Amino acid sequence: MAEKSEKSAARATRNRKKQLNRSILSSAFIPVWFLLLNVSGLVLFALGFLLTRPVLSDIAVKSSSYSDPDILLPMPFERVVLILIDALREDFITGSAPADSYFSTLVAPAQYAEAQPENAAVFKFIADPPTTTLQRLKALTTGSLPTFIDAGSNFNGQAVLEDSWINQLLSIKGGDRIAFTGDDTWISLFPALKNGTDEKKNKTFAYESFNVWDLYTVDASVTADMSSLINRKSEWDVLIGHYLGVDHAGHRYGPNTEKMKEKLAEMDDAIKSVINAVNDDPDVLLIVLGDHGMDDKGDHGGDSKGEIEAGLFLYSSRPFLAPLKTVESVNQIDLVPTLSLLLDIPIPYNNLGSPIASAFLGPDSDYQQLASAARLTSEQINKYRSSHPSFAGFREISSLFDSASTAWSTKDYKKISELHYEFQSANVNACREMWARFDIPMMILGFLVFVATLAAMLIFYAVFDGDKVCASDYLSSFYKKIITGAIAGALGGYGVSGIWWADRTIEFLLFGASIGSLLGFFVGLYGLRRSLPRITQPSSWSVIALFYIILHGMLFASNSYVVWESRSLSFLLVSFGFILFAASFRISDSVKRGTSLFNAVMFIVVTRAADYPKVCREEQLPFCTTNFYSSSASSMSSITTIIALFLVAFVLPSFIRSFLATSASDEGSSKLWIGGGLRLALALVGLYWALDFVEMDSRTIVSPEEVRPYKYLTSRLLIGITLVGGPLAWYRASPLCLRVEMTNNQELIKRAAEEGDIETVERIKPVSVEIIGFANAYGSLYFLLFICLYAAIALCTKPMGGLALAGMVYQILTLLELSDALDIQSKSALIIPTIIGLMATQYYFATGHQATLASIQWDVAFIFTESIRAPLPHIALILNTFGPFILAGFAAPLTMFYKLSPSPKDFRASEVNIGKMLRASLSMMIYITLLTSFNLIMTAILRRHLMVWKIFAPRFMLAGGAILAVDVAVVLSVFAGGKTIASIFDVFG
């Protein structure tokens, strides 16, 4: 009989575990669904806001105008040597740098331009943002303009499908008439260059382009290849050499450093060597140029003055230039028609550039040559305009072309040149404006999805409160309706697109599926209206949470507030700290009140400290000073900061355990995981960055080659432990932070019996068991997984950012302690996740980032490898850029788990905890979705603002990345939280 009873109990336990696992999986469906809805809304809005440029595949041919007897062009060059020095800033080459600066060592171009003004000239070479290499190469070869969203493809180059002078040259003069050495981005853009890799031809040498650790190998190889190829002139018409060292020195060390001086001196020697090699050949044109510049820290991608002003140097032993009195500015796309005409090939079909005047006026200031070049360029541009439907309404620009064409018969070539340049300038300005046109219907559809999703989130949050109504009891009622609604909506969207918008089928499928699934949810909710209680009035804490989200969202209405967003967030968080401080006086227990007051003060202090590390954006100058690195003109971390990392490795685990000690949960596994594991992991973070410093610092006696293997060993070991080994051990072992104490009460019972105390004898058991850490069993278990993620993010964050992240972890713990002391979580599940979300954005800035492309710390992609090999570089960049948001999303269940004790033998309590965890996680999604909705509406309203592409578009892209990071982290946290609940149930259920 007893055996049957045991089997029946075991079967019941197994059934409860299965039911619990089903509840966990069904609960995870909700955040996954909301994640997909946010992705859908974001994609639709982005399709309307970040438009791509339409590309025509037509190939240009020489028009009849080329044979007009009045067309007079300079004698073409037979060969061109093009040296591209990546990130060659204008002041590196034009001689405008101060004589005592580190970057005043590349002097050959300015010297030749001064000594031989008819043979050589230097220019400011103005790039259109985004100032990333791949987009610049497209512009330099096709003459077209990039759009803002093109910057995202810098790591994912695709072949250029539009007309270019590269393809024109290969088509006209032969498929192997271009020799190339350097950055392998060229090969991805122009696969035809691979023809030169044949062993017999041996004219193409491509090298890895994204290894910013390498300052010497690629450049030395390019110089050697150039030296060899330049002596084989009969085998090529164009020789391209792309140097990378200057760009890498900028990223690694900054522009005003010894390393940059060394690289520029090397480039100076390389240019002199090429000039000496071609000096006896008047049919060779040498072009030295930068694809973009760099800012004061050596980064690029944005549109600051230093980033867009590159340098250009033209030279030939044949006099061909009109002497310049000053350094003139030309657009980078102007190189395309200039080079095409000087090589006697058709101007690429999509070109928007103008011929460089000095190259066609010539030493004799021949305006007929200039007018001829301008006319041929205008005719090609007009042909492009005629083929492009977007130009149909620009009659004023068309009339400018007509005026310039009509004036040809007057033979007033100076006037004709001016008219053609006026037309070309007006056209390129119109193109810049036209390709900033927005698809308003798509933006509205995206915003509608966001608003409807937010409404569903808020209703779900209000209805399923986790106490009276448990979500897991009702979720099965929604699945079929949500999925059915999504299918029906997708079919409806497909039908609508087929009738009215045949070219927008995918977009309407996406919109239809999103809205349909939401309607399915609302229909399911309406069906349950009689069984659900009324929605209660929100608590004052929930009102404060919504107020803070709205205040944060309103910042997006002003470009100044977006620029200084970190200051505003610091103010909001400090003000909340004072609210917590004031609320703490209401605690009756004096010890508890004193602890809460201390935690509130520390919350304020750490918030202010987090405002200290900063990388200033251009608009903040001169009211901001970068202190994130060793200096404002460097990308190197200071040795003091690295030493502080080791101090954090020693101190932070002790602080964490002190928080856990308040619930006696610094027992069991916490000693190993926090006292040992976390301390070791953070020490390895410090070791990695110390090795990185030794490798970068030219004063050390150890060579970089000796340090590098140990550096990579450290980073790979640590990322393996924190993202694979640690989580796997956590999942398999469920390391509880508990200690069991057993007390033998035989003596006590015996003494009570002797004294006749029958009550004590009956009450006390022979052996009593006490579980130390029981009061925080859920929170301490989940926190062990949280610190694994934190250590991985700390590794991928620069040293100063690593110090900031330690502050974020400490601040989260103070917030959790205050929430417990003030009993906030029982009154509002929204407020603590909202404040952690605000902290995530503040710590995004504190880790050395800004809402600009230039602030992306690309060099962290090489923390694990010397070259771009998926997936480690991508993981490093994601953790570095969005680390604070990922930590915030993953911390959501902690707001419910912290100091939550198990309910032994109570299966219903475990199901209720699943509902509460889901509600806490959903609170974080509500915060980020509402904030992103504010960003979308402000971005749409301000889409014509002067600063839209400089300020509002990058902030929109940050908002998009942040919501994806938070939502994905929340989804993962729900699974991890479910495992936490299941593990506790296995022990106490």
Q: How do beta strands 204-207 and 120-126 pair?
A: unpaired
First to last CA, the chain: 23
Given a contact cutoff of 8 angstroms between Cβ atoms, the answer to whether 241 and 82 are in contact is: yes
Burial of 754 (0-12, 13-18, 19+ CB in 10 A): exposed
Residue 471: predicted pLDDT: 60
**35 vs 44: CA distance, rounded Å:** 14
H or E stretch including 618? none
**94 vs 103: CA distance, rounded Å:** 11
- For 76, phi then psi, to 5°, come to -70, 155
**129 vs 793: CA distance, rounded Å:** 30
Given a contact cutoff of 8 angstroms between Cβ atoms, the answer to whether 637 and 695 are in contact is: no
Among 855, 635, 882, 853, CA closest to 135: 853
SS3 849: coil
Cβ contacts of 386-392, under 8 Å, gap ≥ 24: 387/56, 387/58, 388/54, 388/56, 390/54, 390/434, 391/430, 391/434
**635 vs 628: CA distance, rounded Å:** 9
Name residue 289's beta-bridge partners.
Answer: 84, 312
H or E stretch including 971? helix 953-988
Residue 133: how many other CB atoms lie within 10 Å: 24
Supply the pTM of this predicted model.
0.83
H or E stretch including 640? helix 639-661
Among 87, 460, 433, CA closest to 293: 87
SS3 156: coil
Q: How do beta strands 284-289 and 238-243 pair?
A: unpaired
**333 vs 425: CA distance, rounded Å:** 12
**925 vs 966: CA distance, rounded Å:** 7
H or E stretch including 379? helix 367-387
**820 vs 617: CA distance, rounded Å:** 39
Residue 154: predicted pLDDT: 41
**638 vs 640: CA distance, rounded Å:** 5
SS3 599: helix
Burial of 198 (0-12, 13-18, 19+ CB in 10 A): exposed
Instruction: List CB contacts of 157: < 8 A, sequence separation 6 or more.
Output: 134, 185, 188, 189
Residue 155: predicted pLDDT: 44
Q: Is the peptide bond before 622 cis (omega within 30 degrees of 0)?
A: yes
How far is CA 514 from each of CA 133, 440, 492, rounded to the nearest angstrom? 37, 19, 11
Given a contact cutoff of 8 angstroms between Cβ atoms, the answer to whether 241 and 226 are in contact is: yes
Place of tokens 């949500």: 482
SS3 585: coil
Instruction: List CB contacts of 698: < 8 A, sequence separation 6 or more.
Output: 258, 259
**350 vs 145: CA distance, rounded Å:** 9
Among 381, 359, 374, CA closest to 429: 381
Instruction: List CB contacts of 768: < 8 A, sequence separation 6 or more.
Output: 742, 743, 745
Given a contact cutoff of 8 angstroms between Cβ atoms, the answer to whether 31 and 968 are in contact is: no
Q: How do beta strands 284-289 and 79-85 pair?
A: parallel
**101 vs 97: CA distance, rounded Å:** 7
Strand 79-85: give its sheet, edge to edge.
204-207, 178-183, 238-243, 79-85, 284-289, 309-315, 120-126, 328-331
Given a contact cutoff of 8 angstroms between Cβ atoms, the answer to whether 168 and 346 are in contact is: yes
Residue ranges of the chain whose pLDDT lies below 50: 151-157
**258 vs 358: CA distance, rounded Å:** 35
- For 343, phi then psi, to 5°, come to -100, 0
SS (H, E, C) 764-819: CCCEEEEEECHHHHHHHHHHHHHHHHHHHHHHCCCHHHHHHHHHHHHHHHHHHHHH
Place of tokens 């006319």: 375
**68-94 CB burial, b ≥16 within 10 A, e <16:** eeebbbbeebebbbbbbbbbbbbbbbb
For 689, what's the count of Cα atoms within 13 Å in the CB-facing half-sphere?
A: 29
Burial of 788 (0-12, 13-18, 19+ CB in 10 A): buried
Among 599, 564, 443, 442, CA closest to 506: 442
The pair of structure tokens assigned to 740 is: 């069991």
Given a contact cutoff of 8 angstroms between Cβ atoms, the answer to whether 411 and 375 are in contact is: no
Residue 257: predicted pLDDT: 83
Among 426, 286, 433, 410, CA closest to 354: 426
**168 vs 220: CA distance, rounded Å:** 30
**563 vs 555: CA distance, rounded Å:** 10
**Cα radius of gyration (the chain):** 33
Supply the DSSP string of 735-748, one letter for each residue. Answer: ----EEEEEE-HHH
